[in-house]
A and B are shown apart, each in its own frame.
Chain A
Amino acid sequence: MSPVDTLIRRHRLRAVELLPWAIAVGAYFAFADYLSLGSQILIMILFALSLDLVLGYAGIVTLGHSAFFGVGAYAAGIYAVRVSGEPLSGLCVGAVAAAAVGWASGLVILRTHGLTLLMLTLAVTSLLAEAANKANFLTGGADGLQGMDIDPIFGVFRFDLFGRTAYLYCLVVLFLAWLFARRLVHSSFGRSLVGIRENTARMHAIGSPVRRRLLTIYTISAALAGIAGALLAQTTQFVGLTVLGFQRSGEIVIMLVFGGIGRLYGAFVGAGVYMIAQDQLAKLEPVFWYFWIGLLLVLLVMFARGGLLGLLDRLLRR
Protein backbone atom coordinates (compact mmCIF):
# COMPACT_ATOMS: atom_id res chain seq x y z
CA MET A 1 0.00 0.00 0.00
CA SER A 2 1.43 3.36 -0.96
CA PRO A 3 1.86 6.07 1.67
CA VAL A 4 -0.78 8.14 -0.08
CA ASP A 5 -3.31 5.34 0.36
CA THR A 6 -2.46 5.08 4.05
CA LEU A 7 -3.32 8.72 4.57
CA ILE A 8 -6.44 8.40 2.45
CA ARG A 9 -7.62 5.55 4.61
CA ARG A 10 -7.18 7.38 7.88
CA HIS A 11 -10.48 9.23 7.94
CA ARG A 12 -12.56 6.16 7.10
CA LEU A 13 -14.74 4.86 9.88
CA ARG A 14 -13.28 1.90 11.75
CA ALA A 15 -15.42 -0.68 13.53
CA VAL A 16 -13.92 0.17 16.92
CA GLU A 17 -15.32 3.69 16.61
CA LEU A 18 -18.79 2.26 16.98
CA LEU A 19 -17.92 0.70 20.33
CA PRO A 20 -18.89 3.72 22.47
CA TRP A 21 -22.31 3.76 20.84
CA ALA A 22 -22.82 0.05 21.41
CA ILE A 23 -21.91 0.56 25.06
CA ALA A 24 -24.19 3.57 25.39
CA VAL A 25 -27.16 1.73 23.92
CA GLY A 26 -26.37 -1.38 25.94
CA ALA A 27 -26.18 0.68 29.13
CA TYR A 28 -29.69 1.94 28.49
CA PHE A 29 -31.00 -1.59 28.94
CA ALA A 30 -28.46 -2.93 31.43
CA PHE A 31 -28.48 -0.04 33.91
CA ALA A 32 -32.06 1.17 33.82
CA ASP A 33 -31.72 2.48 37.38
CA TYR A 34 -28.73 4.63 36.56
CA LEU A 35 -30.06 6.55 33.60
CA SER A 36 -29.84 9.94 35.25
CA LEU A 37 -26.14 9.32 35.90
CA GLY A 38 -25.99 8.09 32.31
CA SER A 39 -27.41 11.37 31.01
CA GLN A 40 -24.87 13.30 33.08
CA ILE A 41 -22.08 11.22 31.58
CA LEU A 42 -23.32 11.81 28.04
CA ILE A 43 -23.52 15.54 28.71
CA MET A 44 -19.99 15.62 30.12
CA ILE A 45 -18.74 13.63 27.12
CA LEU A 46 -20.21 16.26 24.83
CA PHE A 47 -18.64 19.01 26.93
CA ALA A 48 -15.26 17.23 26.90
CA LEU A 49 -15.58 16.68 23.15
CA SER A 50 -16.08 20.40 22.63
CA LEU A 51 -13.01 21.08 24.76
CA ASP A 52 -10.96 18.57 22.79
CA LEU A 53 -11.52 20.59 19.61
CA VAL A 54 -9.81 23.65 21.07
CA LEU A 55 -7.41 22.09 23.57
CA GLY A 56 -6.52 18.83 21.87
CA TYR A 57 -6.64 19.82 18.22
CA ALA A 58 -5.99 23.54 18.05
CA GLY A 59 -3.75 23.60 21.14
CA ILE A 60 -5.58 26.47 22.83
CA VAL A 61 -4.96 25.83 26.53
CA THR A 62 -8.06 27.04 28.33
CA LEU A 63 -9.31 26.85 31.88
CA GLY A 64 -12.48 28.73 31.14
CA HIS A 65 -14.54 26.40 29.01
CA SER A 66 -17.34 26.32 31.58
CA ALA A 67 -18.16 29.85 30.43
CA PHE A 68 -19.79 28.39 27.31
CA PHE A 69 -21.32 25.44 29.12
CA GLY A 70 -22.82 27.86 31.62
CA VAL A 71 -24.05 30.38 29.05
CA GLY A 72 -25.69 27.53 27.13
CA ALA A 73 -27.34 26.23 30.30
CA TYR A 74 -28.63 29.65 31.39
CA ALA A 75 -29.77 30.62 27.90
CA ALA A 76 -31.71 27.38 27.47
CA GLY A 77 -33.05 27.63 31.00
CA ILE A 78 -34.20 31.23 30.69
CA TYR A 79 -35.68 30.44 27.29
CA ALA A 80 -37.68 27.60 28.83
CA VAL A 81 -38.92 29.77 31.71
CA ARG A 82 -39.71 32.92 29.73
CA VAL A 83 -40.40 31.92 26.16
CA SER A 84 -41.11 28.31 25.43
CA GLY A 85 -40.58 24.85 26.85
CA GLU A 86 -39.90 23.38 23.43
CA PRO A 87 -36.59 21.52 23.87
CA LEU A 88 -34.99 21.57 20.39
CA SER A 89 -35.35 25.32 19.93
CA GLY A 90 -34.00 25.57 23.48
CA LEU A 91 -30.87 23.69 22.41
CA CYS A 92 -30.44 26.09 19.51
CA VAL A 93 -30.80 29.06 21.82
CA GLY A 94 -28.14 27.60 24.10
CA ALA A 95 -25.81 26.94 21.18
CA VAL A 96 -26.23 30.39 19.63
CA ALA A 97 -25.79 32.22 22.93
CA ALA A 98 -22.65 30.26 23.77
CA ALA A 99 -21.27 30.70 20.25
CA ALA A 100 -21.83 34.46 20.50
CA VAL A 101 -19.94 34.63 23.79
CA GLY A 102 -17.23 32.37 22.35
CA TRP A 103 -16.81 34.53 19.29
CA ALA A 104 -16.78 37.82 21.19
CA SER A 105 -14.35 36.63 23.88
CA GLY A 106 -12.25 34.81 21.29
CA LEU A 107 -11.78 38.05 19.36
CA VAL A 108 -9.89 39.38 22.35
CA ILE A 109 -8.22 36.43 24.02
CA LEU A 110 -6.99 34.61 20.91
CA ARG A 111 -4.65 37.51 20.25
CA THR A 112 -2.63 36.27 23.20
CA HIS A 113 -0.73 33.08 23.94
CA GLY A 114 0.23 30.80 26.78
CA LEU A 115 -0.22 32.02 30.29
CA THR A 116 -1.91 35.28 29.28
CA LEU A 117 -4.47 33.37 27.28
CA LEU A 118 -5.03 30.96 30.15
CA MET A 119 -5.60 33.84 32.58
CA LEU A 120 -7.99 35.53 30.18
CA THR A 121 -10.10 32.38 29.79
CA LEU A 122 -10.33 32.22 33.57
CA ALA A 123 -11.27 35.88 33.74
CA VAL A 124 -14.08 35.48 31.21
CA THR A 125 -15.59 32.64 33.24
CA SER A 126 -15.32 34.59 36.47
CA LEU A 127 -16.94 37.65 34.90
CA LEU A 128 -19.85 35.60 33.63
CA ALA A 129 -20.28 33.77 36.93
CA GLU A 130 -20.43 37.06 38.80
CA ALA A 131 -22.83 38.51 36.27
CA ALA A 132 -25.11 35.48 36.65
CA ASN A 133 -24.92 35.88 40.41
CA LYS A 134 -25.92 39.55 40.28
CA ALA A 135 -28.63 39.22 37.64
CA ASN A 136 -31.05 37.77 40.16
CA PHE A 137 -34.19 38.70 38.25
CA LEU A 138 -33.05 36.69 35.25
CA THR A 139 -30.98 33.82 36.58
CA GLY A 140 -32.32 33.36 40.10
CA GLY A 141 -28.86 34.28 41.39
CA ALA A 142 -27.44 32.02 44.06
CA ASP A 143 -30.71 30.13 44.42
CA GLY A 144 -30.46 28.96 40.86
CA LEU A 145 -32.88 29.11 37.99
CA GLN A 146 -36.06 27.19 38.63
CA GLY A 147 -39.49 26.79 37.16
CA MET A 148 -38.52 25.25 33.86
CA ASP A 149 -41.12 23.15 32.18
CA ILE A 150 -39.74 21.24 29.24
CA ASP A 151 -42.26 20.11 26.63
CA PRO A 152 -42.16 16.63 25.12
CA ILE A 153 -39.65 16.24 22.29
CA PHE A 154 -41.42 16.69 18.93
CA GLY A 155 -44.53 16.99 21.12
CA VAL A 156 -44.43 13.21 21.61
CA PHE A 157 -41.64 11.99 23.89
CA ARG A 158 -42.34 13.17 27.41
CA PHE A 159 -39.45 13.54 29.88
CA ASP A 160 -40.22 10.76 32.35
CA LEU A 161 -39.36 10.23 35.98
CA PHE A 162 -36.83 7.49 35.24
CA GLY A 163 -34.84 9.60 32.83
CA ARG A 164 -35.33 7.28 29.86
CA THR A 165 -36.29 10.04 27.46
CA ALA A 166 -33.57 12.30 28.84
CA TYR A 167 -30.94 9.61 28.30
CA LEU A 168 -31.95 8.87 24.73
CA TYR A 169 -32.28 12.58 23.99
CA CYS A 170 -28.74 13.22 25.24
CA LEU A 171 -27.49 10.17 23.34
CA VAL A 172 -28.94 11.32 20.02
CA VAL A 173 -27.62 14.86 20.46
CA LEU A 174 -24.18 13.55 21.39
CA PHE A 175 -24.18 11.22 18.40
CA LEU A 176 -24.94 14.07 16.01
CA ALA A 177 -22.30 16.26 17.64
CA TRP A 178 -19.78 13.42 17.30
CA LEU A 179 -20.59 12.97 13.61
CA PHE A 180 -20.00 16.67 13.12
CA ALA A 181 -16.80 16.81 15.19
CA ARG A 182 -15.39 13.74 13.48
CA ARG A 183 -16.02 15.23 10.08
CA LEU A 184 -14.44 18.47 11.23
CA VAL A 185 -11.19 17.06 12.62
CA HIS A 186 -10.45 15.07 9.46
CA SER A 187 -11.19 17.99 7.12
CA SER A 188 -8.57 20.32 5.70
CA PHE A 189 -9.70 22.82 8.32
CA GLY A 190 -9.26 20.32 11.14
CA ARG A 191 -5.81 19.31 9.97
CA SER A 192 -4.83 22.96 9.69
CA LEU A 193 -5.75 23.32 13.38
CA VAL A 194 -3.32 20.53 14.18
CA GLY A 195 -0.79 22.42 12.09
CA ILE A 196 -1.36 25.52 14.23
CA ARG A 197 -0.92 23.43 17.37
CA GLU A 198 2.26 21.87 16.06
CA ASN A 199 3.82 25.06 14.71
CA THR A 200 2.03 28.38 14.50
CA ALA A 201 4.94 30.18 12.84
CA ARG A 202 4.99 27.67 10.01
CA MET A 203 1.23 27.96 9.51
CA HIS A 204 1.69 31.70 9.01
CA ALA A 205 4.50 30.94 6.59
CA ILE A 206 2.35 28.67 4.43
CA GLY A 207 -0.25 31.39 4.12
CA SER A 208 -2.82 30.16 6.60
CA PRO A 209 -5.08 32.79 8.21
CA VAL A 210 -4.20 31.49 11.67
CA ARG A 211 -6.23 33.84 13.82
CA ARG A 212 -9.38 33.39 11.77
CA ARG A 213 -9.04 29.61 11.99
CA LEU A 214 -8.62 29.76 15.75
CA LEU A 215 -11.59 32.06 16.17
CA THR A 216 -13.72 29.75 14.04
CA ILE A 217 -12.93 26.62 16.04
CA TYR A 218 -13.28 28.53 19.32
CA THR A 219 -16.76 29.62 18.30
CA ILE A 220 -17.76 26.14 17.12
CA SER A 221 -16.43 24.60 20.32
CA ALA A 222 -18.31 27.17 22.40
CA ALA A 223 -21.53 26.27 20.57
CA LEU A 224 -21.05 22.56 21.32
CA ALA A 225 -20.26 23.33 24.97
CA GLY A 226 -23.40 25.48 25.00
CA ILE A 227 -25.45 22.56 23.72
CA ALA A 228 -24.02 20.39 26.52
CA GLY A 229 -25.01 23.04 29.05
CA ALA A 230 -28.47 23.35 27.50
CA LEU A 231 -28.92 19.59 27.77
CA LEU A 232 -28.05 19.73 31.44
CA ALA A 233 -30.53 22.54 32.03
CA GLN A 234 -33.31 20.75 30.18
CA THR A 235 -32.79 17.29 31.65
CA THR A 236 -32.38 18.45 35.27
CA GLN A 237 -34.77 21.40 34.90
CA PHE A 238 -32.46 23.45 37.04
CA VAL A 239 -29.49 25.75 36.48
CA GLY A 240 -27.21 26.66 39.37
CA LEU A 241 -24.21 28.99 39.49
CA THR A 242 -21.87 25.99 39.51
CA VAL A 243 -22.35 25.56 35.74
CA LEU A 244 -20.16 28.61 35.30
CA GLY A 245 -17.76 27.69 38.06
CA PHE A 246 -14.04 27.43 37.78
CA GLN A 247 -14.29 23.93 39.22
CA ARG A 248 -16.27 22.68 36.26
CA SER A 249 -13.69 24.15 33.88
CA GLY A 250 -10.92 22.37 35.73
CA GLU A 251 -12.81 19.11 36.00
CA ILE A 252 -13.52 18.92 32.29
CA VAL A 253 -9.82 19.41 31.53
CA ILE A 254 -9.02 16.60 33.98
CA MET A 255 -11.57 14.33 32.31
CA LEU A 256 -10.13 15.00 28.89
CA VAL A 257 -6.56 14.46 30.07
CA PHE A 258 -7.73 11.22 31.70
CA GLY A 259 -9.02 9.95 28.40
CA GLY A 260 -6.33 11.47 26.19
CA ILE A 261 -6.37 14.80 24.36
CA GLY A 262 -6.51 15.37 20.62
CA ARG A 263 -7.98 11.96 19.77
CA LEU A 264 -11.73 12.60 19.80
CA TYR A 265 -12.43 9.47 21.87
CA GLY A 266 -10.49 10.68 24.87
CA ALA A 267 -13.65 12.63 25.75
CA PHE A 268 -15.69 9.43 25.80
CA VAL A 269 -13.24 7.39 27.84
CA GLY A 270 -12.22 10.24 30.13
CA ALA A 271 -15.65 11.57 30.99
CA GLY A 272 -17.06 8.05 31.28
CA VAL A 273 -14.35 6.72 33.59
CA TYR A 274 -14.19 9.91 35.64
CA MET A 275 -17.93 10.17 36.21
CA ILE A 276 -18.33 6.50 37.10
CA ALA A 277 -15.26 6.57 39.37
CA GLN A 278 -16.60 9.68 41.04
CA ASP A 279 -19.98 8.05 41.58
CA GLN A 280 -18.53 4.85 43.01
CA LEU A 281 -15.80 6.48 45.08
CA ALA A 282 -18.24 8.99 46.50
CA LYS A 283 -20.32 6.09 47.79
CA LEU A 284 -17.36 4.20 49.24
CA GLU A 285 -15.51 7.21 50.59
CA PRO A 286 -17.85 10.16 50.88
CA VAL A 287 -15.10 12.36 52.31
CA PHE A 288 -11.96 11.26 50.56
CA TRP A 289 -13.11 10.43 47.06
CA TYR A 290 -11.40 13.44 45.56
CA PHE A 291 -8.11 12.22 46.96
CA TRP A 292 -8.34 9.07 44.86
CA ILE A 293 -9.25 11.03 41.75
CA GLY A 294 -6.20 13.18 42.38
CA LEU A 295 -3.94 10.18 42.87
CA LEU A 296 -5.25 8.55 39.71
CA LEU A 297 -4.53 11.73 37.77
CA VAL A 298 -0.99 11.99 39.10
CA LEU A 299 -0.28 8.39 38.09
CA LEU A 300 -1.80 8.85 34.66
CA VAL A 301 0.06 12.05 33.90
CA MET A 302 3.35 10.62 35.12
CA PHE A 303 3.22 7.18 33.60
CA ALA A 304 0.70 7.32 30.81
CA ARG A 305 1.02 10.51 28.84
CA GLY A 306 -1.71 10.51 26.27
CA GLY A 307 -4.21 9.39 28.90
CA LEU A 308 -5.99 6.07 29.08
CA LEU A 309 -6.24 5.84 25.31
CA GLY A 310 -2.53 6.58 24.98
CA LEU A 311 -1.87 3.77 27.44
CA LEU A 312 -4.10 1.44 25.45
CA ASP A 313 -2.28 2.40 22.25
CA ARG A 314 1.04 1.44 23.74
CA LEU A 315 -0.25 -1.86 25.11
CA LEU A 316 -1.74 -2.80 21.74
CA ARG A 317 1.43 -1.94 19.89
CA ARG A 318 3.48 -4.42 21.92
Chain B
Amino acid sequence: MNSIISIESLTKYYGKFLAVSDISFSVNKGEIFGLIGPNGAGKSTTMRSILNFIKPTEGKITIKGLDSQKDYIKIRNLIGYLPGEFSIYDNLSAEEYISHILHLRNKSNKIPNLKNLAAMFDLDLSKKSKKLSKGNKQKVGIIQAFCHDPEILILDEPTSGLDPLKQQEFEDLVLEFKNQGKTIFISSHVLPEVETLCDRVAIIKNGQIIAEDKMADLKKKSINRIEVQFSKDFDVDKLRKNIGISKVTGDSNKYTFDIEGNIDKFIKELANHEIENLKTIEPDLEDIFLSYYREQKG
Protein backbone atom coordinates (compact mmCIF):
# COMPACT_ATOMS: atom_id res chain seq x y z
CA MET B 1 0.00 0.00 0.00
CA ASN B 2 1.12 3.53 -0.75
CA SER B 3 1.41 5.38 2.55
CA ILE B 4 0.37 9.05 2.36
CA ILE B 5 0.48 10.03 6.03
CA SER B 6 3.10 8.31 8.13
CA ILE B 7 3.43 8.86 11.87
CA GLU B 8 6.44 7.24 13.49
CA SER B 9 6.95 7.11 17.26
CA LEU B 10 5.20 10.41 17.86
CA THR B 11 5.53 11.60 21.45
CA LYS B 12 4.35 14.93 22.77
CA TYR B 13 4.79 16.38 26.24
CA TYR B 14 3.16 19.62 27.38
CA GLY B 15 5.50 20.41 30.24
CA LYS B 16 5.35 17.24 32.34
CA PHE B 17 2.00 16.13 30.88
CA LEU B 18 2.33 13.32 28.36
CA ALA B 19 -0.32 14.01 25.69
CA VAL B 20 0.77 11.46 23.09
CA SER B 21 3.08 8.54 23.81
CA ASP B 22 5.09 6.84 21.11
CA ILE B 23 2.29 6.38 18.60
CA SER B 24 2.85 5.07 15.09
CA PHE B 25 0.45 4.48 12.25
CA SER B 26 0.06 5.29 8.61
CA VAL B 27 -2.78 6.32 6.32
CA ASN B 28 -2.75 4.87 2.82
CA LYS B 29 -3.65 6.46 -0.48
CA GLY B 30 -7.36 6.46 -1.24
CA GLU B 31 -8.23 5.40 2.28
CA ILE B 32 -10.51 6.88 4.93
CA PHE B 33 -8.71 6.46 8.23
CA GLY B 34 -10.35 7.23 11.54
CA LEU B 35 -8.71 8.12 14.81
CA ILE B 36 -11.21 7.57 17.56
CA GLY B 37 -11.12 8.16 21.25
CA PRO B 38 -12.71 10.28 23.95
CA ASN B 39 -11.94 13.96 24.48
CA GLY B 40 -8.41 14.47 25.76
CA ALA B 41 -7.15 11.15 24.39
CA GLY B 42 -4.63 12.82 22.05
CA LYS B 43 -6.54 13.03 18.76
CA SER B 44 -6.19 16.77 18.23
CA THR B 45 -2.56 16.78 19.35
CA THR B 46 -1.84 14.15 16.69
CA MET B 47 -3.69 16.10 13.98
CA ARG B 48 -2.15 19.43 14.93
CA SER B 49 1.29 17.83 14.86
CA ILE B 50 0.66 16.76 11.26
CA LEU B 51 0.03 20.42 10.36
CA ASN B 52 3.10 21.58 12.32
CA PHE B 53 0.97 23.61 14.74
CA ILE B 54 2.48 21.53 17.50
CA LYS B 55 6.12 20.49 17.55
CA PRO B 56 6.56 16.82 18.48
CA THR B 57 8.79 16.11 21.46
CA GLU B 58 9.97 12.99 19.64
CA GLY B 59 9.09 11.13 16.48
CA LYS B 60 8.59 11.94 12.85
CA ILE B 61 5.61 12.71 10.64
CA THR B 62 5.75 12.61 6.87
CA ILE B 63 3.08 13.46 4.31
CA LYS B 64 3.75 11.98 0.86
CA GLY B 65 7.37 11.65 2.00
CA LEU B 66 7.58 15.32 3.01
CA ASP B 67 8.74 16.14 6.54
CA SER B 68 5.96 17.83 8.55
CA GLN B 69 8.34 20.34 10.12
CA LYS B 70 10.73 21.11 7.26
CA ASP B 71 8.36 20.92 4.30
CA TYR B 72 5.19 22.22 5.90
CA ILE B 73 4.50 24.82 3.21
CA LYS B 74 4.55 22.14 0.47
CA ILE B 75 2.39 19.91 2.66
CA ARG B 76 -0.22 22.64 3.19
CA ASN B 77 -0.62 22.88 -0.58
CA LEU B 78 -1.84 19.29 -0.53
CA ILE B 79 -4.17 19.50 2.43
CA GLY B 80 -7.69 20.56 3.24
CA TYR B 81 -8.11 20.99 6.98
CA LEU B 82 -11.03 21.36 9.32
CA PRO B 83 -10.01 21.96 12.95
CA GLY B 84 -11.92 20.67 15.95
CA GLU B 85 -12.80 24.22 16.99
CA PHE B 86 -13.59 26.02 13.76
CA SER B 87 -13.98 29.78 13.92
CA ILE B 88 -14.54 32.44 11.28
CA TYR B 89 -14.25 36.21 11.30
CA ASP B 90 -17.55 37.76 12.35
CA ASN B 91 -17.16 40.77 10.06
CA LEU B 92 -17.00 38.67 6.86
CA SER B 93 -19.71 36.83 4.99
CA ALA B 94 -19.22 33.12 4.37
CA GLU B 95 -18.29 33.90 0.75
CA GLU B 96 -15.78 36.59 1.73
CA TYR B 97 -14.22 34.28 4.30
CA ILE B 98 -13.84 31.39 1.87
CA SER B 99 -12.57 33.82 -0.79
CA HIS B 100 -9.91 35.04 1.68
CA ILE B 101 -8.80 31.47 2.42
CA LEU B 102 -8.72 30.61 -1.29
CA HIS B 103 -6.56 33.68 -1.98
CA LEU B 104 -4.14 32.54 0.73
CA ARG B 105 -4.02 29.23 -1.09
CA ASN B 106 -3.34 31.10 -4.35
CA LYS B 107 -6.57 29.71 -5.75
CA SER B 108 -9.32 31.56 -7.53
CA ASN B 109 -12.59 32.02 -5.68
CA LYS B 110 -14.36 31.27 -8.96
CA ILE B 111 -13.92 27.56 -8.26
CA PRO B 112 -17.16 25.87 -9.43
CA ASN B 113 -16.92 23.53 -6.46
CA LEU B 114 -17.71 26.41 -4.14
CA LYS B 115 -21.25 27.05 -5.42
CA ASN B 116 -21.94 23.31 -5.68
CA LEU B 117 -20.82 22.69 -2.14
CA ALA B 118 -22.85 25.64 -0.84
CA ALA B 119 -25.92 24.25 -2.62
CA MET B 120 -25.24 20.75 -1.29
CA PHE B 121 -25.12 22.04 2.29
CA ASP B 122 -27.93 24.52 1.75
CA LEU B 123 -25.71 27.39 2.89
CA ASP B 124 -26.36 31.06 2.08
CA LEU B 125 -22.85 32.29 1.27
CA SER B 126 -23.85 35.95 1.41
CA LYS B 127 -24.82 35.85 5.10
CA LYS B 128 -22.47 37.54 7.57
CA SER B 129 -20.71 35.01 9.75
CA LYS B 130 -22.04 36.52 12.98
CA LYS B 131 -25.56 35.69 11.81
CA LEU B 132 -24.74 32.04 11.10
CA SER B 133 -25.71 29.29 13.52
CA LYS B 134 -23.08 26.87 14.87
CA GLY B 135 -24.16 24.26 12.35
CA ASN B 136 -23.93 26.72 9.44
CA LYS B 137 -20.49 27.85 10.57
CA GLN B 138 -19.43 24.22 10.56
CA LYS B 139 -20.70 23.97 6.97
CA VAL B 140 -18.44 26.92 6.07
CA GLY B 141 -15.58 25.01 7.69
CA ILE B 142 -16.33 21.88 5.68
CA ILE B 143 -16.67 23.85 2.43
CA GLN B 144 -13.36 25.70 2.89
CA ALA B 145 -11.65 22.35 3.53
CA PHE B 146 -13.07 20.67 0.42
CA CYS B 147 -13.53 23.43 -2.16
CA HIS B 148 -9.93 23.70 -3.38
CA ASP B 149 -9.99 20.01 -4.24
CA PRO B 150 -7.13 18.88 -1.96
CA GLU B 151 -5.35 15.54 -2.27
CA ILE B 152 -5.51 14.94 1.45
CA LEU B 153 -8.23 15.87 3.92
CA ILE B 154 -7.59 16.19 7.62
CA LEU B 155 -10.87 16.56 9.49
CA ASP B 156 -11.05 16.95 13.24
CA GLU B 157 -14.55 16.17 14.58
CA PRO B 158 -16.07 17.19 11.22
CA THR B 159 -19.77 16.71 11.87
CA SER B 160 -19.89 18.63 15.14
CA GLY B 161 -23.03 20.79 15.07
CA LEU B 162 -24.42 19.39 11.80
CA ASP B 163 -28.00 18.14 11.70
CA PRO B 164 -28.49 14.46 10.71
CA LEU B 165 -29.51 15.34 7.15
CA LYS B 166 -26.35 17.36 6.57
CA GLN B 167 -24.29 14.66 8.26
CA GLN B 168 -25.50 12.36 5.51
CA GLU B 169 -24.51 14.95 2.86
CA PHE B 170 -21.11 15.19 4.51
CA GLU B 171 -20.65 11.43 4.46
CA ASP B 172 -21.60 11.35 0.75
CA LEU B 173 -19.06 14.08 0.06
CA VAL B 174 -16.30 12.24 1.90
CA LEU B 175 -17.07 9.02 0.04
CA GLU B 176 -17.05 10.92 -3.27
CA PHE B 177 -13.56 12.20 -2.46
CA LYS B 178 -12.44 8.71 -1.54
CA ASN B 179 -13.75 7.43 -4.87
CA GLN B 180 -11.55 10.02 -6.58
CA GLY B 181 -8.53 8.34 -4.95
CA LYS B 182 -8.08 10.98 -2.27
CA THR B 183 -6.92 10.30 1.26
CA ILE B 184 -9.02 11.26 4.26
CA PHE B 185 -7.95 11.28 7.90
CA ILE B 186 -10.80 11.83 10.35
CA SER B 187 -10.74 12.12 14.09
CA SER B 188 -13.96 11.68 15.95
CA HIS B 189 -15.68 10.60 19.08
CA VAL B 190 -18.94 10.22 17.12
CA LEU B 191 -18.58 6.51 16.65
CA PRO B 192 -21.35 5.78 14.12
CA GLU B 193 -19.81 8.36 11.76
CA VAL B 194 -16.45 6.59 11.84
CA GLU B 195 -18.16 3.24 11.53
CA THR B 196 -19.96 4.34 8.36
CA LEU B 197 -17.05 6.05 6.67
CA CYS B 198 -13.74 4.54 7.67
CA ASP B 199 -11.81 1.73 6.03
CA ARG B 200 -9.43 1.52 8.94
CA VAL B 201 -9.42 2.98 12.43
CA ALA B 202 -7.05 3.44 15.31
CA ILE B 203 -8.35 3.73 18.85
CA ILE B 204 -6.43 6.16 21.01
CA LYS B 205 -6.59 6.23 24.77
CA ASN B 206 -4.50 8.33 27.15
CA GLY B 207 -2.18 9.23 24.29
CA GLN B 208 -1.56 5.64 23.21
CA ILE B 209 -2.89 3.68 20.26
CA ILE B 210 -4.59 0.68 21.82
CA ALA B 211 -5.91 -0.82 18.61
CA GLU B 212 -5.46 -0.30 14.89
CA ASP B 213 -7.17 -2.38 12.29
CA LYS B 214 -9.52 -2.55 9.34
CA MET B 215 -12.98 -1.53 10.38
CA ALA B 216 -14.35 -4.96 9.48
CA ASP B 217 -11.59 -6.85 11.33
CA LEU B 218 -11.88 -4.65 14.36
CA LYS B 219 -15.52 -5.58 14.61
CA LYS B 220 -14.67 -9.27 14.30
CA LYS B 221 -12.00 -9.13 16.98
CA SER B 222 -14.18 -7.45 19.46
CA ILE B 223 -17.20 -8.75 21.25
CA ASN B 224 -19.74 -11.23 20.00
CA ARG B 225 -23.26 -10.23 20.91
CA ILE B 226 -25.70 -13.12 20.98
CA GLU B 227 -29.37 -12.98 21.86
CA VAL B 228 -30.79 -16.25 23.16
CA GLN B 229 -34.36 -17.15 24.00
CA PHE B 230 -34.52 -20.20 26.23
CA SER B 231 -37.57 -22.48 26.42
CA LYS B 232 -37.81 -22.01 30.17
CA ASP B 233 -36.34 -19.88 32.91
CA PHE B 234 -32.59 -19.86 32.76
CA ASP B 235 -29.98 -19.55 35.55
CA VAL B 236 -27.68 -16.97 34.04
CA ASP B 237 -25.43 -16.75 37.11
CA LYS B 238 -24.43 -20.39 36.69
CA LEU B 239 -23.47 -19.72 33.07
CA ARG B 240 -21.48 -16.64 34.12
CA LYS B 241 -19.42 -18.77 36.53
CA ASN B 242 -18.55 -21.29 33.85
CA ILE B 243 -17.49 -18.98 31.03
CA GLY B 244 -16.21 -15.40 30.54
CA ILE B 245 -19.12 -13.12 29.71
CA SER B 246 -18.47 -9.40 29.79
CA LYS B 247 -22.10 -8.33 29.87
CA VAL B 248 -25.53 -9.92 30.15
CA THR B 249 -28.84 -8.14 29.76
CA GLY B 250 -32.36 -9.50 29.86
CA ASP B 251 -34.38 -11.51 32.31
CA SER B 252 -36.23 -14.76 32.87
CA ASN B 253 -35.69 -16.77 29.65
CA LYS B 254 -34.43 -14.17 27.15
CA TYR B 255 -30.90 -12.82 27.43
CA THR B 256 -28.35 -10.89 25.37
CA PHE B 257 -24.75 -12.00 25.96
CA ASP B 258 -21.58 -10.04 25.12
CA ILE B 259 -18.75 -12.54 24.79
CA GLU B 260 -15.18 -11.48 24.23
CA GLY B 261 -12.99 -13.66 22.04
CA ASN B 262 -13.79 -17.31 21.22
CA ILE B 263 -17.42 -18.28 21.57
CA ASP B 264 -16.83 -22.05 21.36
CA LYS B 265 -17.15 -22.62 25.10
CA PHE B 266 -20.29 -20.51 25.21
CA ILE B 267 -21.97 -22.48 22.40
CA LYS B 268 -21.05 -25.80 24.03
CA GLU B 269 -22.52 -24.60 27.28
CA LEU B 270 -25.72 -23.51 25.50
CA ALA B 271 -26.00 -26.99 23.97
CA ASN B 272 -26.95 -28.27 27.42
CA HIS B 273 -30.10 -26.16 27.37
CA GLU B 274 -33.27 -26.10 25.34
CA ILE B 275 -33.29 -23.06 23.12
CA GLU B 276 -36.24 -21.50 21.28
CA ASN B 277 -34.40 -18.86 19.32
CA LEU B 278 -30.82 -17.61 18.88
CA LYS B 279 -29.51 -14.70 16.87
CA THR B 280 -26.22 -12.84 16.60
CA ILE B 281 -26.22 -9.06 16.66
CA GLU B 282 -23.45 -7.07 14.97
CA PRO B 283 -21.75 -4.93 17.60
CA ASP B 284 -21.56 -1.19 16.97
CA LEU B 285 -18.36 0.75 17.33
CA GLU B 286 -19.28 1.92 20.79
CA ASP B 287 -19.30 -1.66 21.96
CA ILE B 288 -15.96 -2.28 20.29
CA PHE B 289 -14.59 0.85 21.86
CA LEU B 290 -15.80 -0.03 25.34
CA SER B 291 -14.59 -3.57 24.88
CA TYR B 292 -11.09 -2.35 24.12
CA TYR B 293 -11.23 -0.03 27.07
CA ARG B 294 -12.23 -2.81 29.42
CA GLU B 295 -9.43 -4.93 28.01
CA GLN B 296 -6.93 -2.17 28.69
CA LYS B 297 -8.20 -1.70 32.23
CA GLY B 298 -8.03 -5.40 32.83
Whether chains A and B associate is no
